[in-house]
Structure 1
Amino acid sequence: MTLASVERRAHPWRDPLAVAAGLRHRDGALALLSDGGPLGRWSFVAADPDLVRIEPVGERLDILRDPAFASGVVGLLAYDAGARPATGLREPLWPDLMLARYPAMLAFDHETRTAFAIGRGVDDASARAAAERAGAWLGEAVEPAAPPPPATRFQPEAPESAYTDAVADVVARIAAGELFQANIARAWTGELRPDADPFDVMLRLADRASAYGAFWRLGDRALVSNSPELFLTFDPETRRIETRPIKGTRPRDPDPARDAALAAELQASAKDRAENLMIVDLMRNDLARAAAPGSVRVERLFEVEPLATVHHLVSTVAAEARADVAAADLLEATFPPGSITGAPKHQAMKVIAGHEPPRGPWCGSLFHIEEGGLTASVLIRTASFELEEGVWRYRTLAGAGIVADSDPAAELAETDAKIRALREALIGP
């Protein structure tokens, strides 16, 4: 059933996190929360999806070609769904695809400080009713306050030596000519206190908001993401595609002079630039599968982007999509993201599988489809949760891109810097 009728109503501004807090226990509670910066103009909050699909996807995303999923849709593609052609069938940790359609949704424009209630329906009357439901959610806002640490432990799945050994093995494989780069990750697990739930983690990340923050709960699964990384945007009117791969990291420092020196060191690092450029070239190749000939271009290269706990090196690659390309085609052409696999991508995924169990949602993508347009994040800085016997259990990961001159101890330290914000959100400083 296609929801072809749309109603859109402007409302006074409310804090999107406060509105999301009021809906946190509703079915399908969703918050796509940006930091309001240059890359995060819009936030979205919703609940009560009318159509949910949770399933394996195989090699294609034909379900996204169904007109019923053309708008008001949020989806999660697990990393392992895209890696399977390289890794073979392994016992999954998470469904390949989670997909939900929201007839009622709130959109928050951080630039104009305006909230919009969006309603969709099979006719004008049902669209108006959905917009009224969304507008009423603004009145249910709860002023957010950071709760105490919700987790009781933050347990590594493997010893640090297992990670440094894996890095050393990848460096040796690179020296042997097997590949150029692979992103190798570490994982941590634990459980939340009986009186806590995953939204508490979102609240504790509020002062470290990123461009692609997210909370999503469907049934007994939930996701909290504080990702700064854009995987894809697609505008069906202009046909513009954009990706912003991140490669290169330094920790932040409370001393301004030391912090500036770390940023300058990152900007000047030949190793980090080479690591970034490999993934830029990979993403150029991936975008070319869906782009008009000759339209792929690098618009920005090696920009230092400061976040709450780290500096990142970021580049921007853009293209114009071919006339026959839609969101599903673009995801099929590029998933999983090159920044969290390596180069060549297929071989990097095989090497990753030799050192890691399935990743689940981490380094997959959370995406939002509106009127055929697409915004998809890379699910780094992300924890997944499953409710088991009344207790929320979590798993989270952090990785680093390994290249020929990688030092295992330095790469281990980089994963510690990357996981810091989530670790402190879960168990405190």
Structure 2
Amino acid sequence: MARRKSTERTRKIGPSGVETLPHRVIDVPAAPPGCRHRLTERARLHWRTSDGGDPAATVQAFLTAHGLPVTDLADPTTGHHPDDRTCGAALYVSAAAGAHLAGAPTGPPSPAPALPDLVAVVYDHTDTPTGPTGRHPTPWWVGPWQPSWTPHAHAAAVRAVHAAIGRGDVYQVNLVGHAAARYTGDPLPALSRLAALPGARYGGTLTGDGWAIGCASPETLVEVTAGRVLTRPIKGTRPATAAGRRDLLASAKERAEHIMIVDLERHDLAHLARTGTVTVDELYAVRRWCDLWQAESTVSATLADGLGLADLLRAVCPGGSVTGAPKLAALHHIAALEPAGRGASMGALGWVAPGHLDLGLTIRTVAAEPDRLHLWAGGGITWDSDPDAEVAEAAAKAAPLRALLTTG
């Protein structure tokens, strides 16, 4: 029965949407800028954890059937029959789908149940640029944000991670909180504005029946180009001031947390790499996202022959910087401690095209259902983490998104 459900979704052809969430310009994160206004949807796949089965294999088969060469990412010409109509595909993988692939608990139910756990949308080029639907704009209003946990409960979860570290269960766990707000009006203009936030490398939107995702993520989960695979984990945050930058560079706690995740990412890429090719190309570079400094590294490797998209997703999902170390043990603690499912956050969203794949990690990401907005924020907890500081850091990450969404 689960297989039948997945197959039926695979056959869904053409654009979708509901009156409250109309489609406009296709603006998928990491899609080529010159293509974004000249895309038309051909087919889409939706998968939910309740469907069962292997979502990685399902999406690889779906994209292959629609002309995208994803069975051997090191050599995308392998077994490929060119289809001139296909430009590429949007790919979204939720954190719950990633946990499913890892054999870990998927956590509490998503507070945004309209969103599938995996979406793939194949796009063709059109000669007619797409644009606004011509609908009259409606007044935009966002109500107060209601968190899924209080600062006290968040701090208590940090202390629970401290206890787990003390027992030797884990070295680091990423804790994420959720907040929701009611709204009226059309959410897509507000979600689209997220892409303009400074540092939003993966700015863009993805929409479906009764849901939309807006992303302002700076973080690369995985990118594949010309047989090379890379990831850019981000760990370590300070205010974007001169003093904040100095503090981030000098912090032994932040550097230790960061290097722990870099090592985890090296391990993940090793499952995909030719022996001896995993390298750290850049370590602990400080870059800016909105009014925050963040530490970022680049880890890359040469892909082994014969590995497809399914292998890639199994190796890197969910991302190490939003789970912890060891990853599987961290996922068990996340499922037990977080008050709400991660929904659209802490997963993957980006673009798959012949010879190129680029997925951002969905931090700094907002989801819309027909009457409610959802956002998530958190941070990595280590032995040296201060509970109050962790609560404040999560609030600082969410603040630019909240401020932008409440403007008309």
- How does 1:276-355 map onto structure 2 within 5 Å? 276-355=258-337
Contact 1:154 1:188 in 2 (8 A): yes
Match of 1:65 among 60, 82, 101: 60
Q: In structure 2, do the counterparts of structure 1 residues 58 and 311 end up closer, same or farther at CA, with 3 Å as the change threshold?
A: farther
Q: Which amino acid aligns with 1:396?
A: L
Compute the displacement of 1:159 (Å): 1.1
Q: In structure 2, do the counterparts of structure 1 residues 53 and 207 end up closer, same or farther at CA, with 3 Å as the change threshold?
A: closer
After superposition, the CA RMSD in angstroms is 2.6
Question: What's 1:248 paired with?
Answer: 236
Compute the displacement of 1:42 (Å): 4.7
Compute the displacement of 1:44 (Å): 5.0
Match of 2:26 among 26, 30, 46: 30
Compute the displacement of 1:355 (Å): 1.1
Compute the displacement of 1:88 (Å): 5.5
Compute the displacement of 1:149 (Å): 6.4
Q: Does 1:377 align with 2:363?
A: no
Compute the displacement of 1:202 (Å): 2.4
- How does 1:40-59 map onto structure 2 within 5 Å? 42=33, 45=36, 48-56=40-48, 58-59=53-54
Contact 1:205 1:421 in 2 (8 A): no
Could you say what secondary structure the match of 1:421 adopts? Answer: helix
Question: What's 1:163 paired with?
Answer: 154
The whole-number CA distance in structure 2 between the counterparts of 1:90 and 1:264 is 38
Return 206-215 or 378-387, whichever deviates more.
206-215
Match of 1:178 among 169, 180, 191: 169
Question: What's 2:178 paired with?
Answer: 187
Contact 2:174 2:379 in 1 (8 A): yes
Could you say what secondary structure the match of 2:104 adopts? Answer: helix
Compute the displacement of 1:148 (Å): 8.3
Contact 1:33 1:43 in 2 (8 A): no
Compute the displacement of 1:216 (Å): 1.4
Could you say what secondary structure the match of 2:155 adopts? Answer: helix
Match of 2:92 among 46, 60, 76: 76
Q: Which amino acid aligns with 2:57?
A: D
Contact 2:24 2:132 in 1 (8 A): no
Match of 1:408 among 380, 387, 397: 387
Contact 1:363 1:378 in 2 (8 A): yes
Return 322-331 or 350-359, whichever deviates more.
322-331
Compute the displacement of 1:204 (Å): 6.1
Could you say what secondary structure the match of 2:144 adopts? Answer: coil
Question: What's 2:253 paired with?
Answer: 271
Q: Does 1:152 align with 2:140?
A: no
Question: What's 1:367 paired with?
Answer: 350
Could you say what secondary structure the match of 1:292 adopts? Answer: coil
The whole-number CA distance in structure 2 between the counterparts of 1:326 and 1:26 is 34
Q: Does 1:99 align with 2:120?
A: yes
Contact 2:28 2:90 in 1 (8 A): no
Q: In structure 2, do the counterparts of structure 1 residues 243 and 99 end up closer, same or farther at CA, with 3 Å as the change threshold?
A: same
The whole-number CA distance in structure 2 between the counterparts of 1:267 and 1:147 is 46
Question: What's 1:425 paired with?
Answer: 404
Question: What's 1:200 paired with?
Answer: 190
Q: In structure 2, do the counterparts of structure 1 residues 43 and 413 end up closer, same or farther at CA, with 3 Å as the change threshold?
A: farther
Q: Please, what TM-score do these two structures have when normalized by structure 1?
A: 0.77
Match of 1:214 among 198, 204, 221: 204
Contact 2:55 2:97 in 1 (8 A): no
For structure 2, the residue ranges without an aligned partner over 5 or more in a row are 1-19, 69-85
The whole-number CA distance in structure 2 between the counterparts of 1:170 and 1:293 is 35
Q: In structure 2, do the counterparts of structure 1 residues 63 and 204 end up closer, same or farther at CA, with 3 Å as the change threshold?
A: closer
Number of matched pairs: 355
Compute the displacement of 1:226 (Å): 0.5
Contact 1:368 1:374 in 2 (8 A): yes
The whole-number CA distance in structure 2 between the counterparts of 1:251 and 1:230 is 21
Q: In structure 2, do the counterparts of structure 1 residues 32 and 86 end up closer, same or farther at CA, with 3 Å as the change threshold?
A: same
The whole-number CA distance in structure 2 between the counterparts of 1:207 and 1:302 is 22
The whole-number CA distance in structure 2 between the counterparts of 1:213 and 1:276 is 24
The whole-number CA distance in structure 2 between the counterparts of 1:204 and 1:75 is 19
Q: Please, what TM-score do these two structures have when normalized by structure 2?
A: 0.81
The whole-number CA distance in structure 2 between the counterparts of 1:88 and 1:216 is 22
Compute the displacement of 1:307 (Å): 2.1
The whole-number CA distance in structure 2 between the counterparts of 1:204 and 1:342 is 27
Contact 1:232 1:377 in 2 (8 A): yes
Contact 1:279 1:339 in 2 (8 A): yes
Compute the displacement of 1:250 (Å): 0.6
